[in-house]
Chain A
Amino acid sequence: MSPPRCGAELNRGLHEAMAAFPAMYVLGEDVLDPYGGAFKITRGLSEAFPDRVITTPISEASLFGVAAGMAIRGLRPVLEIMFGDFITLGFDQIVNGISKFREMYDDQVTLPLVVRTPMGGRRGYGPTHSQSLEKFLMGVPNIRMVAASEVHDLAGLMTAAVADDDPVFLIENKVMYGRPNLRPVDGRIGELDVTESGGPSPALTFSGSGFTEAAATLVAYGGMVPIALEAATALIMEHEVFCEVVAISGLLPLDLDPVLASLSRSGVVVTLEEGTLTGGIGAEIAARVQEQGWDDLRRPVVRVAARDGIIPSAPTLEDAVLPGVAHVTRAVLGAVGARA
C-alpha cells in the first residue's frame, strides 16, 4: 500500500482532534467545504462539524487576537493562515498578545490555540507567497513552534498541537502537502536506519545501516528534510561521504539533544533552512551547538540557507536562490574537506 499524502494526514489529524476536543474550533479564510482551504487541509471539516468551522474575512491583523480571545475563554481555536507570508500582519497580536497573556496575567489564563500555516517556495508563487518566515517567530518567548515534515507523524503532530495548553505554531510546507508521508517501517525509511524521539515535537535521526560514525550531521526541518535526505544519498553514492540527517520538528523550544547526539558521532554540523540566511534558525542552532557541543565540534558550524533577498517567481531564478540538493552537497563537501 502506498503511503498517504502529507496533506491528507494533516487533514486526518484535524478530523481526529475535532472529534476528541469538543472545544476545538477551526477558523480561517476559505476553510469551508467544498473548497476546504486553499491547500485542502480543512476539507470535510465543515461538513462533519458545521458549528465549529468558521470562515473569516481577510483580517489577519485581527484573527490572531480573535483566536487568543477564544482561547482565553476556554476554546481551542485552530487558526489557518493561508500563506505563511501573512503572519507578518499578525505580529502585534503574536508578540504583544499571544506571547504575553499567560505570563503577564500571572498565569490566570491559558492560551490553548494553534496557528497552522504553510511556508516554503518551489512552486513559482513569487516573492510574497513563497517565504519561510518561521525565523521571525524564533525570537518570540512563550510560544511553541513545530515544523512538520514528510517523515513525521503528521496526524500525531496535529493532535498534539491541539492538546497543548500553550500557543503552538505549526509550520507546514506547501511542497510537502502533495508528497507521500514516509514513516519508518522496522526502523528504516528507504535504505537508511531511523531512530525517532518522542513527545509532541519528535526528531528523526537517519544514519547509514551499521555505521557508528559519520562525516557530518545535517540538521533539517520542514521542506528541507527531503532535500537533506536526497543530498545524504548523493553524498554516499557519488562521494562515499556518510552523513547523518537529523530531521527536527521542535523549533521552539529548539530540540537540540538529537543534534548533539549526532554531533558526537560526526564532529561536523551543517544546518539547512529554506529561509534567508541572516538571523535564521541555523544561526540559533550554531550558537547553541558551540555552547553545548564545543568539545565534539571539529570545525565551525556551516549554514545552508536562501540568499538574503527575494524569492523570484521564475523557476530558474527560484531554483538558483533556494537551497537545493546541489547546495547542500557542496556545503557538506566543503565542510568535510576542510576537516581533513
Chain B
Amino acid sequence: MTASGPEARYRGMYLIRRFEETLLDMFSQGLLVGTTHTCIGQEADAVGVIGHMRPGLDQVVSNHRCHGHYIAFTGDLAGLAAEVMGRSGGTCSGRGGSQHLCRDGFYTNGVQGSIVPLATGIALAERERGDGAITTVFIGDGTLGQGAVYECLNMASLWRLPLLFVVENNRYAQTTPVELAVAGTVPDRARAFGVDAAHVASTDVEEIHAVAGEMVEHVRSGRPAVLSIDTYRLRAHSKGDDVRDPAEVDARWATEPLAVAGARLDAARRAALEADADRELAEALAVAHASPVAVLDEALA
C-alpha cells in the first residue's frame, strides 16, 4: 500500500474486514471447502504494524490467521481469493490454501510456532545481506506455549537479528482462554532474553501504529524486539467453532477497530473510502472467480 495516514489505514482495515466477511459468507453458502481463520476484530494489528514495512525489502512471516497480514503487506486480494478458492490464479496456484501463502517476501505456515525458526533464519540472512531489511513474525497468545519461540528469542538476541516478534493476544487459543495457557507476561518473557518489549492493549490502529513505529525503528537499528498487542477476535476461531459467552463477544464489538477509527472520520469521507474499497474488492473477486480451477501438473502427478 503506497498511501499512508489514518484514512489509508481505515480503508486498509475495511478492505480486510470485507474480504474476510465475504469468505465466511462463501463458506456458509457451501462455495468454499477447507478452512479459514479470520482476523475480524484484529485488523488494526495487521495494518498498524505492516504500515511500517517496506515492500520489496522487508520480510513478513505469519500464521494460520494470516489474511489481514497478507492483504496489508501485498494488497493482493485477487491472488488470495483465488488461492482460498482453489484456483490456478491463486498466490500459490492452489497448492497452499488459506494458511500456506507465499508472495514477495511474505510467508505463512499452519503449524503453531514453526514459523518462528523460519523467520529467525530469514532475519539472519537479511542481516548478512546488509541492506537494512527487517523481518516481522506474527504469533498468537496460544503459540507462546511452543518451545521453539524461546529458542528463537534466545538466538535473535544473541545474534542481534533485525527481527520483530508481534504477539497478537486475542485472549484465546481456539477455545482455551489465555489464563489457562500463558503464565506471566509477554514482555517479561522477552526481557528474560534481553529482548526489548512493548505492550499495547488497544484496537485503535493509530495507537498500534505509533507503538509499532517505535519498535520497528528499534529493530532497524539491529536489535530484535517484541511487540505484544492485547486484542480480541470477534468471530469464530475458524468457520463456526465458538464456545465463548455471546455477551462477552457482543461487548467487544463496541471497540472493534473500524468503529474506533471510523468515528474519527467525516461520515461522507468514510462512505467514500468504503465505496472505493468495495469496488476494489468486487474487481478482485471477479478476477478470482474467472481463474480456472487448479489442476495437477503432469510433472507432479
Contacts and interface: CB of A to CB of B under 8 A. Distances in A.
Q: Do A and B come from one complex?
A: yes
Interface string B170-214: 000000000000000000000000000000000000000000000
A75 B96 contact: no
A226 interface: no
A108 B151 contact: no
B119 A73 contact: no
B121 A66 contact: yes
A126 interface: no
A197 interface: no
Residue from A69, A74, A77 with most neighbouring chain B CB atoms (10 Å): A69
Given A70-B121, A96-B114, A62 B151 contact: yes
Contacts of B124: 66, 69-70
B148 interface: yes
Given A73-B59, A97-B114, A106-B102, A61 B129 contact: no
A57 interface: yes
Given A72-B121, A74-B125, A106-B95, 16 more contacts: A25-B128, A57-B151, A62-B117, A62-B152, A65-B116, A65-B117, A65-B121, A66-B152, A67-B121, A69-B117, A69-B123, A70-B124, A74-B129, A96-B110, A100-B100, A106-B91
B148 A97 contact: no
Contacts of B30: none
A72 B118 contact: yes
Nearest to A108: B102
Given A73-B59, A96-B111, A104-B96, A68 B151 contact: no
A297 B116 CA distance: 50
A87 to B, nearest CB: 15
B33 to A, nearest CB: 18
Contacts of A65: 114, 116-118, 120-121, 148
A56 interface: yes
Contacts of A73: 59, 121-122, 125-126, 129
Contacts of A64: 117
B122 A108 contact: no
B93 interface: yes
A214 interface: no
20 contacts: A57-B155, A59-B154, A61-B117, A61-B148, A62-B148, A63-B117, A66-B155, A68-B117, A69-B124, A70-B121, A71-B121, A72-B107, A72-B125, A74-B125, A75-B128, A93-B114, A97-B111, A104-B95, A105-B107, A106-B92
B125 A75 contact: yes
Nearest to B102: A105
A92 interface: yes
A92 B114 contact: yes
B246 interface: no
A303 B140 CA distance: 48
Interface of B: 59, 91-93, 95-96, 100, 102-103, 107, 109-111, 114, 116-126, 128-129, 147-148, 151-152, 154-155, 158-159, 300
Nearest to A60: B151
Interface of A: 25, 54, 56-57, 59, 61-75, 77, 92-93, 96-97, 100-101, 103-106, 108-109
Residue from A61, A71, A109 with most neighbouring chain B CB atoms (10 Å): A61
A72 B118 CA distance: 9
Contact of B122 (A70, A93, A96): A70
A-side interface mostly: helix
A57 B158 contact: yes
A38 to B, nearest CB: 20
Nearest to B294: A106
Nearest to B111: A96
Nearest to B117: A65
A140 to B, nearest CB: 15
A12 to B, nearest CB: 25
A69 B120 contact: yes
B195 to A, nearest CB: 14
A97 B109 contact: yes
Contacts of A72: 107, 118, 121-122, 125
Contacts of B102: 101, 104-106, 108-109
Contact of B155 (A59, A93, A105): A59
B95 A103 contact: yes
Nearest to B159: A54
A178 B96 CA distance: 45
A69 B125 contact: yes
A63 B124 CA distance: 12
Contacts of B129: 73-74
Closest 3 CB pairs of A and B: A69-B121, A65-B117, A73-B125
Contacts of B95: 103-106
A106 B96 contact: yes
A72 B129 CA distance: 13
Contact of A68 (B92, B118, B147, B155): B118
B260 to A, nearest CB: 35
Nearest to B135: A69
B86 to A, nearest CB: 13
A56 B154 CA distance: 10
Given A105-B96, A105-B102, A108-B92, A93 B125 contact: no
A105 B108 CA distance: 10
Given A59-B151, A61-B151, A108 B111 contact: no
